[in-house]
Amino acid sequence: MPELAYRDALNQALSEEMARDPRVFLMGEEVARYNGAYKVSQGLLDKFGSARVVDAPISELGFAGLGVGAAMLGLRPVIEMMTWNFAILAMDQIVNNAAKLRHMSGGQLRCPIVFRGPGGAGGRLSSQHSQALEANYAHFPGLKVVAPGTPADAKGLLKSAIRDENPIIFVEAELLYGSRGDVPEGEYTIPIGKADIKRPGRDVTLITWSRMLTAAVLPAAELLAQQGIDAEVIDLRSIKPLDHETIAASVRRTNRVVVVEESWPFASVGSELSDFIQRECFDDLDAPVRRVTGLDVPMAYAANLERAIQPSPERIIEAVNAVLYRPG
């Protein structure tokens, strides 16, 4: 299996799906001649031409809505948001139109569209450019939300997202684009709604997704292993629909859970997970669910503050010790 960077895995998925299906087009800022702000669309303009790889003006609301209209008429737009921070300007089109069209029309219309781009911390970019916003979209019925943490998952999930009949929020990670991993070649998809156990273990379940997987959770699990604690790591990959079965089965094995997420704690994906677990796995739990989240403040620029705001292996180990009632 060839090793690829996360951005190149995404590029392969786009390229393969565009070659396979003429209805697929990519639109966004800097996607064509500049080859993408993060080079995800490298080479696509040359391969597919300027009607299928479209440089849009800086009008997130406008081109998000344009994509929705094209999807209503049988195309399969992939709308690149330079980052999810800027998609906040497009939220009306995503939430009020894409997510509700099938419903408002009583099943007459469908909206097969992918909104994709990087989310999460950007690396010394301060508050407006460093936000993990997936919980916002997961809130709305009518949207699916996907956030892959590895190159292989990025490729397989993007291909599934493009083929899906529904609007998909596809959250990449700004700091993962250069990360490398094995990626299967050619036709290969990962079903939306299936979590993946990235590290099996017996003592505690760590649930996470996107960049936190490799940036904090797997390193924490290695440190815990050195201390004789065998952590299971679940990578959600899809936030909505949520893979309740994989989560519940793991909790039944380990009886202890820590949720690790980059975003803020209030009304987050972690809150939803905690609610689900206490409700459905109450008798299996030996400790209350703990959460390790971004601190409830906007992201700071200073290096030490930026580090302190995000979950770290240290904070994860602290939470694991708490659910194991183990002195730190």
Give least dist CB 284 to another protein, A.
29
Q: What's the CA gap between 306 and 285, in Å, rounded?
A: 33
Q: What is the nearest approach in angstroms of another protein to the Cβ of residue 90?
A: 9
- DSSP structural state of residue 251: H
Which pair of structure tokens corresponds to residue 159?
């291909």
Per annotation, catalytic residue among 16, 17, 29, 60: 60
| C-alpha to C-alpha distance for 108 and 137, rounded to whole angstroms | 23
- Of the pair 178, 200, the CB lying nearest another protein is at 178
- Nearest of 128, 137, 159 to residue 18 by alpha carbon: 159
Write down the least CB distance from residue 64 to another protein, Å: 7
Rounded Cα distance between 157 and 141, Å, is 20
How many angstroms separate the CA atoms of 304 and 316, rounded? Answer: 18
Residues that bind another protein (CB under 8 A): 21-23, 25, 30, 32-39, 42, 48-52, 54-57, 59, 61-75, 77, 82-83, 86, 92-93, 96-97, 101-110, 122, 129, 141-142, 144, 165-166, 177-178
Nearest Cα neighbor of 208 from 194, 193, 218, 223 is 218
CB 143 within 8 A of CB 169: yes
129 in active site:
yes
Tally of CA atoms within 13 A in the half-sphere of 134 that contains its CB: 36
Q: Which amino acid is at 142?
A: G
* Beta carbon of residue 93, minimum distance to another protein (angstroms, whole number): 6
- State the angle between helix axes of 218-226 and 313-323 in degrees (0 to 180), rounded to the nearest 10: 60
Between the alpha carbon of residue 51 and those of residues 22, 55, 148, the distances in Å are 11, 9, 28
**Tokens standing for residue 163:** 């083929």
Q: Which of 129, 244, 272, 318 is catalytic?
A: 129
Instruction: Judge whether 50 and 23 are in contact, CB under 8 Å.
Output: no
The separation between the first and the last C-alpha atoms of the chain, rounded to the nearest angstrom, is 41
| Shortest Cβ 45–another protein spacing (Å) | 9
**Secondary structure class of 238 (helix, strand, coil):** strand
Question: Minimum distance between the CB of residue 107 and another protein, rounded to whole angstroms?
Answer: 3
Give me the count of residues in the chain.
328
The bridge status of strand 257-260 relative to strand 53-55 is: unpaired
What CA–CA distance (Å, rounded) separates 122 from 220?
Answer: 22
Least distance (Å) from another protein to the CB of residue 157?
Answer: 16
Residues acting as catalytic residues: 60, 129
